[in-house]
Structures are given as structure tokens and as C-alpha cells.
Structure 1
Amino acid sequence: MSIAEQVLEAARRAAGGSAEVDVNVAREHLALTRFANSYIHQNIAREADTVTLRIHVDGRTAVNSTTVTDDAGLAALVERTVAAARVSPADPGWAGLSGPAELPKLLAEPDPATGEAAPEVRAEQVRAYIEAAGGLTAAGFARNRKVVTTYVNSEGQAASGTVVEAVLDGIAKTPTSDGASRQASRLIADLDGAALGARARAKALASQDPVEIEPGEYEVVLEPTAVSDVLWVLGGYGFNGKAFNEGTTFVRLGEPQFDPAVTLVDDPLSGPAAGAVFDVEGTPRDRLVLVRDGETTAVVHDRRSALEAGVASTGHADAESAVNGAEPINLRLEPSAGAPPAEVDGPAADSAVMALVAGVRRGLLVTDHWYTRCLDPRRLVMTGLTRNGVWLIEDGEITRPVKNLRFTQSYPEALAPGRVLGIGSHAPAFASKYGVQSAMAPALRLAGWNFTGGASG
């Protein structure tokens, strides 16, 4: 009998036959290699089981977790969860458990070599990155992870699945500049430390001795690294089912809120980004179109927010969604049609970015966003800083590096009808620094971006 089945059986006996019970067991293997000053300075790995038990009985709900999975630890988990359920406040938003349902099929099975990669494999990627940085000081990390999840509940739903992911993220520095590059994939063999190190070096050298420019609204080309931040913010604040129910998001279903060039999907099944095909409530998760040709078509829900909205859950519950709302996990902004671009020298990431730059009369090329914070969730106005390279574009050419700028910008308004002047033909994958989300993000050329402060304030 599995741990999940053992806990489910024990909880049903302890809570009584009328109790609704579900159990989620996640075994995570996470391994990390860090480097700084162009040397590896840390290798760490951890493997742990987290067992989460949820009981709903007599109109009350309690949730508890443990990482102690011997018989005594599991018995204690059941005992305290049953006790908590008896004294918890009434839960009028309880949406019931998911019933038996078939899971969608991944287009490719999880790669064991990615989830179980040895330190030597990560070290080889780091070595290639540092050597390609060509004597510039390099720092960053390589990691691989595997999460095996088992879910069972008292309604008969049972699901299991594996997610694997590999990430390489680093910078190369000069005394006055730095250049960043990063990549995520379901296949560790897809990571290219030499190409990423060379890109970071080119960016760092091209952004030395930047000049200060006046704040204001500029046409921009956002590189994929900056666009990944835009997608995560749109997902977390905008396409969040709880926020939509509460009226605190910009989203208006069925309206053309974005430029017709924008199609945004949440897709765990295809592409290099890692994703699970069911959530912590056992609900299947399939490809979901959030924006099609500029029209907002969907938000994501867990069972609780779906009940309130009168729709079905989209399979986006997580441990915090009852409080923070459900969020998209594997966002992809569909790139423009065209063949994958070849790598080119210079500060731009690739030829897809350079093609967008060529159309700009006067504007800025932005590599990355940093320290972004929400000022107005209803309009989704964000403030943050540029990072890792900004350049002035004049008559379709990159002319000089620019000092970092602060921006204050509504993200959906930047992508509104008529504001998206171009989308790159290549959408690399990135892993979020803040959670388990991923994004596949092409470069964007936008009509305007509001910069509100320069290096001097």
C-alpha cells in the first residue's frame, strides 16, 4: 500500500464515514550547483516527501502536512488533522472533492536523466558557461529537479505523475556592466552552457560605460528575459480566478483587451517548460487558451473559485490558492510565425530580437526586469527596474548602452490593441525565481513603455 493510500484509509477511519478526505504525496529531488567568481563554490541536494492531508467533515475543513513519513509521523498527521477539523470554523466555500477523471497525456515522457542528473553533469554546464565568458567574472547556478506526485481521495480519484526540470542561470561582469543569460528545459541535454556564457559575455561587453538618458515614454524591444516577468505578472494578478471573482483584476472575459497579435496559453503538455497534468486537488490540467488573437477567453480556477464562478475547475489548485487564488503555471506567449532564429553576435539575444530592433526609429532595448512590484492590481500597474543591459536604438541600430531606469507601467495597457508592434519568432523557456511556474517568452516590440526615473533618481 502506498503512503497516500495508507493515510487516506487511516483518515477515513478516524474522521468517520461521512468525511471527505484527500491526500497528496510529493517526493521532490532538488540538486543545485552554485558558482561565483568563476568557480563552483557549492553543491547541494535534497530529497524529501511531503504528505498533505485534507479533511472536510460536518461542514468544516482542516489541512495539515508532514515530512515525517514513518508510521508514527503519519499517525500523528491523521490525529491532528481530525482534531483540527472538529474545531475549525464552518467552511461555506467548500467545493467538494474531484471525482474520477482521466488525465491528459504528455507529448513526451519525463526524462530520467534530467531529474537524476549527477553533480558532474551540472559542473560540465557550469564549466562551459565560465569558459565561454572569456575571462569575465561569472556567477550563477545550475539545478535539476524531479517531483513525483501521488494523489488519492475518498471519491475514488487517483492520479500520479512526474515533473522534471533543468535550469542554467548566470551573469558575466565587467567593472561597469553585467550581462545575463538563462534557460530552462524538461531536458538537461538541451541546456547549452557555452552558448549562454557567450551571450552573457557579449551583453556585458556591449553594455560597458552606459550613459544616462531622460525618463519618459519610449518605444521598447523587450527581450525574452524581460517578457517572462510580464507573463508571470499577468498570470498571477490578472488570470487568477479568485481575483477575477473579487473584481480586483483587469480581466474582462470575451473582450479584445490585447493586441490581435497576442495569443497566450497555459500549457503543461508541450514545449520545453515543465508542468504537471493535475493539481493538488487531483483535477486534470490541460492546455488552456487565456487570450486568443487579442480576446481574453479564460482565467484559471481551483475548485473553490470555480464553484463561486459557476464553472469547472481548470486544475490550478496549489497549496496557497485558497488564499492567493489560482495562477497559470506554464504560460506561453505564442511567437510569430517563422523559422527559429540563428544566434548572432552583439547585445541582442538572437536574430529574432534584431529583427524587431530594425523597425525602431528611437527607443530602448531592455534585457531584463528586476524587483517588480504591483502598485495597482486593478490596472496591473507595476514598478521595477531594468537590469543586465539596456541600449538606445536609433534608426533601427543599437547605438549605445544606457544606465538602468525605473519604470511605472500597466502591463496589460502596454499590450493593448495597437500597442504590440512585433513579436519575436523564438520563445525560449524560463523558470520562475519565485515558485514552480515557467514561461515561454518571445521578444516583444511595444509602442510605449513608461520610464519614470533614471540612474540619478
Structure 2
Amino acid sequence: MSTIVAKESRCRWHMCRMAHRLPGSATFRWGCFMSKEQLHGLMRDALRASDADQTEIVTMTSNSALTWYAENIIHQNVAEHTAQVQVRAVVGKKVGSASTTDCSPEGLALIVRQASQAARLMPDDPGFPGLPSPQPITAGRVDGWVAATAASQPGERVLAVKKVIERAEHEGLRAAGTYQVQNSELAVVSSMGVAAYQQYTVAALKAVVMGDDSSGYSLMSSADVANIDPEATGERAVRTAVETRHPAEVGPGAFEVVLSPFAVEELMGMLAYLALSARSVEQHTCFLEGHEGEQIASPIVSLYDDGLDPAGMPVPFDFEGMPKRHVDFLTEGKGGNVVYDSYYAAKMDRATTGHSLQQPNDIGPYPLNIFMGAGDSSETDMVSHVERGIYVTRFWYGNPVEPRGAVVTGTTRDGTYLIENGHKTHGIRNLRFTQGLVDMFAHTIEISRNRAVLASSFGIGAMVLPSIRAEGFQFTGVTR
């Protein structure tokens, strides 16, 4: 018996099968949803319990199955069904909200009444435009649901994780991570006539491989479980951990860099929060403000949000049931627009772009489907063009420094290389960076043709990002 099979016998299988009782139906089974008609009917019945002027109900349910592994041992398999209901009630210019996980008719009616009561206790919001009226939602081009992902079994995840573990053990390394498959549904119904519904799936395999003084990382995600390649995921993480053993120290300074899609994702997440929404324009922290149509970045950089593009993980409407629209932030380096929800659209005399998060929130509208346009190079080509620089697998612990220039800081992680004469020569100690992202875009000189699909931490949406090569990236310290 091989080592990995012996360890597999120590796995603990915890299958949490939660049941809901639907009106006039059999017990809800794990892995199943109500039909669109059933769910909308249940939500419309709950609207009748509201005595508010306007009411909105958002229901998000999910079946999630997760395999955890650490120290080369699969130590847990879990599965759960979750449901969250968020209700927003409007009385005049007062807005209240309430939430529950009770999807029974009685639970929904109760939470609708509680939201209405909460609204009456709130101060007036003079800028609140009322709940949005329905708009046509694009259908046909968007299909984020893959039946094979929804039907994926625990044994399939175990076999995939085994491949990662076996590759790590072969090099004397320790593997940890998760393999998650999830099928979800989002429904929005309001007294204004909004009725939106979408199912979608996500599969994501993450590997962190550790040595005594090095580590490697890889993540593969897709709506279709068939696109997850455990051999490639494990190989990338293991190879990185092997190649960066015994890291040298390189002092701070401005370096030419090649950033993997994982590193780019961390930066784009901070950029989305800081500068790509109407809220950032209102607060005058948006680098796009006043620069529409101006050349503010390299001509090879295009950045946009598209919740309808099947190359990502599409869902065609937001948490207000408004249709998602393509929004260009940068087009061949020229400044573009930002995203709006209905509140900020009314406040700034614009149309919603379908980018509301669940209400209320303190983030404002948010892009959940960021794409960066592909280039025409491979990552290997990009490294070969660097005389002396740094390759970054991943950033973490990112924080904003100066919002207007989208200046952020953080550290490298899980595989940082010195590049010399077109080759990644050896690993180096992790570095702290402090870098303006607008400046980075201006000094981007190469972009890869291949892009990675990286599932959002919000549980909906994904970024589709390439590797990039940029000059003058500022590293400001060495981590200890």
C-alpha cells in the first residue's frame, strides 16, 4: 500500500445534509434547489406580508462541498446547504433591512415584517431614489451553470487532491489546500416588479506546497469541474517550492517585474475597492475621475468588467436584479468609466450598470467580473526579455496607502524569484512593495496571451487575468 492510500484511510468524512421543508413539497434534499417558479412564488407570497411602500427580497442559496488537506493528509470532507435571505423595506425616504436563513413561508413573512419595522425607525435618506424598476436581463449568452460540477462527488475530489499530494511527497514537500465545488442560485424579487433568477457553479482547487525555507502556490478555478487539472495545479506549486529553496536576499529598489495572474489578482482586488466605483468618484479618490478618453496607461492595457462574458463565471444581474453591463475602465490605456448601482446612478445622474452588492453595505457598487485584455506573449517569453528583475508568484496582506493614485502596499509570497539574463535563477526572500497601480499600468510593457480564471472571494463572479511585465516596480523592504 502506498503512503498516500494509507493516509487516505485516516480521512474523516463529515457530510452535513441539511433539510428544508417547502410548502406542499417533499423534504428538500442536499444537492437540489427549488425551481425558479417555486422560489419566486415563495418570495412573492412573502411580499404580501409587507406593509412598507416598497419591498425587495434577495435570496442566495448554495450547495458547497469542500475537501481540506494539510501536511499531505486529507483531513476533512464537508458538505453543506446554506441559504441567506436579505430584505430591504422602504417607507417614504426611510430604508430598513433584515436578514434570515429561515426560508419557510413563516420565516420569510416574519423577516419582511421586521424589515418594515426597521425602516420606520430609520432617519430619512433624502438621496434614496426608491427601489429600481425592472429592466430586461440578457439571456442566452450567459450560462454559468455546469451540471457536471453540481453533480461532482467527494471521491472525485479525493482523487484530484491525491495527485497534488503525491507530487509534493515525491519532492519531500508538504501540501495543503482545498478543493471546493459549489452550485448556487441567486433570486431577486421586489414589489416594483423585479423578478430575476440565475443558477451558477464554481469549482476551485488550491494548492500551497511548503518546504523548510520555500513555498509554492497554485489555484485553478472554473464553472466546469472538467477544466480543473490537478496534475498541472500540483506541478506548478511543487516546482515553485523546489526552485525557490535556499532563498537569497535582494535589497529594496525599483525592479522590472513579471507578475503571475495570482499576483495581478491581489492588485486588481485592491484597485476595485479603491477606484473603480461611483463611490470612489464621489469621494474623489478615483484615478479615472476627469480623465475619460485621456491616455493614462500603456496602450497595451485594457481593463473592464463584464458579467456576461462566458470566459469568466457569468451571472447576468446584480443584487438588485438589474442587468449587468460591460464597463470599460481602461481601453488601450485611455481612461473610461466606473460601475454604478441604482443609488449612486440616481445620485450622479447616470444609469445603473448592474453592479450592486447586497444592500445595505458600506462598499457601494463593485465590479465582480474584472477582465484584463490579453496580450501576445507567453509568460516564458516575458521572463526571457528581462535582463535583471523579479518574478512574483503571489502578493498578500495588501493595504491601501494613497487612494487617489491607487498606491498600495503588501508583500510577496509563495515563490519570488530573481530573474537574470532572461532566466529565473533562484529564489529570493519575500519583499515588501509600495506601488502606485496607475504608475504600474503606465509602465506595463508586455502582457501574456493566456489568462487565468480566478473565482471571486465573494462567492459570485471571477476575475480573468493575464501575467504582466512592468518596469520600475517599487520594492521597499525585505521581510524577515
TM > 0.5 fold call: yes
Residue of structure 1 equivalent to 2:339: 300
Residue of structure 1 equivalent to 2:287: 250
Look up the equivalent residue of 1:57 and give its one-letter code: V
- For residues 186 and 405 of structure 1, the distance between their equivalents in structure 2, rounded to whole angstroms, comes to 34
What is the 5 A alignment of 1:127-166?
127-133=162-168, 134-135=170-171, 136-166=173-203
Secondary structure of 1:422's aligned partner: strand
Residue of structure 1 equivalent to 2:256: 219
User: Bigger CA drift: 32-41 or 270-279?
Assistant: 270-279
Match of 1:314 among 353, 371, 384: 353
Cα distance, 1:250 vs structure 2: 1.8
Q: 1:333 to 1:275 in 2, by over 3 A?
A: same
- Kindly report the root-mean-square deviation, in angstroms, between the aligned alpha carbons of the 2 structures: 1.9
Match of 1:33 among 53, 67, 76: 67
What is the 5 A alignment of 1:119-130?
119-130=154-165
- For residues 442 and 245 of structure 1, the distance between their equivalents in structure 2, rounded to whole angstroms, comes to 30
Look up the equivalent residue of 1:279 and give its one-letter code: D
1:376 aligns with 2:391: no
- For residues 320 and 387 of structure 1, the distance between their equivalents in structure 2, rounded to whole angstroms, comes to 34
Look up the equivalent residue of 1:231 and give its one-letter code: M
1:117 aligns with 2:152: yes
Cα distance, 1:7 vs structure 2: 4.3
Residue of structure 2 equivalent to 1:341: none
1:82 aligns with 2:119: no
Secondary structure of 1:189's aligned partner: helix
> How many positions carry a matched residue from both structures?
439
- For residues 359 and 301 of structure 2, the distance between their equivalents in structure 1, rounded to whole angstroms, comes to 29
Residue of structure 2 equivalent to 1:451: 475
Match of 1:324 among 345, 363, 378: 363
Q: 1:138 to 1:154 in 2, by over 3 A?
A: same
CA contact (8 A) 2:144 2:313 kept: no
| Contiguous gaps of at least 5 residues in structure 2 | 1-36
Cα distance, 1:366 vs structure 2: 0.9
Secondary structure of 1:314's aligned partner: coil
Secondary structure of 1:324's aligned partner: coil
Cα distance, 1:220 vs structure 2: 0.6
Could you give the per-residue CA deviations for residues 72-131 of structure 1, whole angstroms, max 9, x where no partner exists?
322321221121122211021212223232211334451022134221222122112222
Residue of structure 1 equivalent to 2:14: none
1:283 aligns with 2:322: yes
Secondary structure of 2:398's aligned partner: strand
- For residues 169 and 51 of structure 1, the distance between their equivalents in structure 2, rounded to whole angstroms, comes to 29
Match of 2:423 among 386, 391, 397: 397
1:168 aligns with 2:205: yes
- For residues 360 and 89 of structure 2, the distance between their equivalents in structure 1, rounded to whole angstroms, comes to 17
Cα distance, 1:170 vs structure 2: 0.7
1:102 aligns with 2:136: yes
Cα distance, 1:156 vs structure 2: 1.6
Match of 2:464 among 435, 440, 451: 440
Look up the equivalent residue of 1:80 and give its one-letter code: Q
Q: TM-score if structure 2 supplies the norm length?
A: 0.87
Cα distance, 1:4 vs structure 2: 4.5
- For residues 479 and 331 of structure 2, the distance between their equivalents in structure 1, rounded to whole angstroms, comes to 38
- For residues 82 and 242 of structure 2, the distance between their equivalents in structure 1, rounded to whole angstroms, comes to 42
Cα distance, 1:8 vs structure 2: 4.1
Look up the equivalent residue of 1:327 and give its one-letter code: Y
Cα distance, 1:235 vs structure 2: 1.5
Secondary structure of 2:176's aligned partner: strand
Residue of structure 2 equivalent to 1:348: none
Look up the equivalent residue of 1:383 and give its one-letter code: T
CA contact (8 A) 1:4 1:25 kept: no
Look up the equivalent residue of 2:477 and give its one-letter code: G
CA contact (8 A) 2:133 2:194 kept: yes
User: Bigger CA drift: 353-362 or 121-130?
Assistant: 121-130
Look up the equivalent residue of 1:361 and give its one-letter code: E
Cα distance, 1:24 vs structure 2: 1.3
Could you give the per-residue CA deviations for residues 350-376 of structure 1, whole angstroms, max 9, x where no partner exists?
xx2110011111111111101111112
Match of 1:51 among 81, 85, 92: 85
- For residues 437 and 13 of structure 1, the distance between their equivalents in structure 2, rounded to whole angstroms, comes to 32
1:199 aligns with 2:236: yes
User: Bigger CA drift: 154-163 or 90-99?
Assistant: 90-99
- For residues 409 and 459 of structure 2, the distance between their equivalents in structure 1, rounded to whole angstroms, comes to 20
CA contact (8 A) 1:116 1:145 kept: no
What is the 5 A alignment of 1:339-358?
352-358=378-384
Cα distance, 1:176 vs structure 2: 1.4
- For residues 293 and 321 of structure 1, the distance between their equivalents in structure 2, rounded to whole angstroms, comes to 35
- For residues 42 and 405 of structure 1, the distance between their equivalents in structure 2, rounded to whole angstroms, comes to 34
- For residues 11 and 91 of structure 1, the distance between their equivalents in structure 2, rounded to whole angstroms, comes to 23
- For residues 363 and 386 of structure 1, the distance between their equivalents in structure 2, rounded to whole angstroms, comes to 14
- For residues 97 and 302 of structure 1, the distance between their equivalents in structure 2, rounded to whole angstroms, comes to 11
CA contact (8 A) 1:132 1:195 kept: no
CA contact (8 A) 2:47 2:190 kept: no
CA contact (8 A) 2:42 2:105 kept: no
Cα distance, 1:12 vs structure 2: 4.6
Residue of structure 1 equivalent to 2:444: 420
Cα distance, 1:163 vs structure 2: 1.7
Q: TM-score if structure 1 supplies the norm length?
A: 0.91
Residue of structure 2 equivalent to 1:346: none
| Contiguous gaps of at least 5 residues in structure 1 | 339-351
Residue of structure 2 equivalent to 1:385: 411
Residue of structure 1 equivalent to 2:274: 237
- For residues 94 and 425 of structure 1, the distance between their equivalents in structure 2, rounded to whole angstroms, comes to 44
